[in-house]
Structure 1
């Protein structure tokens, strides 16, 4: 296919998980992905040079409002958090009309994901953890080495797999999380999220940082999938209340805020989002 035979497709760039534009995690959304191969989608995601790019498609499940494919620069994910909220925001603001009042239903590789919306903040229902168990002793030693911490400073560590294969590490305080200068080589190919509690007097209850392997190890500005898994873990263990706010991206100059709420409908992971770019992309 040549550039001349490609067609213009609606495109949004959305800032997710922050009430302040350009202080969250950006997402590229191609609102019409029909006819594009997975290989082409991967090429485009690599080119946008963002942590994720999504492509919206007609659903194959009659219960869903749309289907999404989620790509990093190097691989496709069955589910990811900030792409879920950003895709839903783009779909709604481009005229999407949900089948169910107050909810958007997204179809993705991990199945159907419900997203609450009331015209303001969106929140997705945390998907089930497919691997949820403490790490073994050898892996905990590797984590301590990679984080340049005494092993005794790790309060707990657990697999938190809900698509991405996260490992959660709980430290004693938000200050420890913010001070980390990890040894990324020692981290290897592990996807690691670190969380610690803030004291009183801040607008967040926890501080989060996440590290993702690839061609170069990256720190993600704000990570919905990790926060979904971490919330289930911390609330189950009685280490967090059923409703709290986590901050992420602080050391990167971002102001990410993840709003967690567990209720009778499940565990919800929410955040503000703003469409910063509207236009077309030729594909």
Structure 2
């Protein structure tokens, strides 16, 4: 194809170039966290274009940075899985903020304010770490007996293996179970056919003598789409409200996630007053141009 023909095709299909980054969230080491694709300055893209690009990247989430619609926000983000749009998600929030800052974004105040479908999310910087204020839970309380029985079967657990279970839904629809030990958690090999359509988080304490002191809890996230998520901000946000609120966890702790998948995600949790902050490092892995 000649240069002129290529230019004509680009004009005909209204193709444009956008700044693009792929980052690793909840890890200071490349390839050890949860990847996120981010398109900058995406205001001209249609819903269909965004959904199609997210489907093509085939990452758990792809985000698009836009101008805010309210003066209270510094930027706006839209968050897409390969199949649908999400109102809020944790690792896309931190990864999008990292890219926004790297692209020259300047906050109006001491905190950064992200606008998304779920509302305004406050983000703070602490050295190389970014943290978001966990949103209130849409749903909390005990998991229904019939649902819990399905989870027990799907995770191939004995009934006495579960210490407790709770809804921890901050938007995506997570429920969670607490196990006795990290060893039990890492041994899980779920039957995704049984838990299809459910978002099941599993958490267990680290025991210093056996597991070391690098973290306080281990987390795994089994998605409704039938795969394990490497490191999950929204789940950890819901877990923090449950674990701290019930006295299971201290006001500040570190969660490890992604171990079974060969990752080394670290989620830093801190309660300050009535707020819970979910934080971690973000590392840029790919920078370039997206042609959409």
TM-score, with length taken from structure 1: 0.96
In the aligned structure 2, how far is the partner of 1:221 from the partner of 1:269? 16
User: What's the counterpart of residue 74 of structure 2?
Assistant: 65
Answer yes or no: is 1:123 the counterpart of 2:131. yes
Answer yes or no: is 1:164 the counterpart of 2:175. no
Q: 1:140, 1:151 within 8 Å by CA — same for their partners in 2?
A: no
Answer yes or no: is 1:208 the counterpart of 2:232. no
CA-atom RMSD in angstroms: 1.2
For residues 120-171 of structure 1, the C-alpha deviation after alignment (integer angstroms, 9 at most, x for no partner) is 1000000000111111111111111011001111111111111100011111
Which SS does the other structure have where 1:89 is aligned? helix
**More divergent stretch after superposition (222-231 vs 168-177):** 168-177
Q: 1:249, 1:256 within 8 Å by CA — same for their partners in 2?
A: yes
**Equivalenced residues, count:** 280
Answer yes or no: is 1:269 the counterpart of 2:278. yes
Which SS does the other structure have where 2:20 is aligned? strand
Runs (4 or more) in structure 1 with deviation over 2 Å come to: 1-5
User: What's the counterpart of residue 177 of structure 1?
Assistant: 185
1:4-153 mapped onto 2 (5 Å cutoff): 4=11, 5-101=14-110, 103-153=111-161
Q: What's the offset of the Cα at 1:202? A: 2.8
Q: What's the offset of the Cα at 1:118? A: 3.7
User: What's the counterpart of residue 5 of structure 2?
Assistant: none
User: What's the counterpart of residue 257 of structure 1?
Assistant: 266
In the aligned structure 1, how far is the partner of 2:159 from the partner of 2:273? 37
In the aligned structure 2, how far is the partner of 1:114 from the partner of 1:2? 42
- Structure 1 residues without counterparts, runs of 5 or longer: none
Q: What's the offset of the Cα at 1:265? A: 6.0
User: What's the counterpart of residue 4 of structure 2?
Assistant: none
Q: What's the offset of the Cα at 1:279? A: 1.1
Answer yes or no: is 1:236 the counterpart of 2:214. no
For residues 221-265 of structure 1, the C-alpha deviation after alignment (integer angstroms, 9 at most, x for no partner) is 000000000010001110000000000000000000000000126
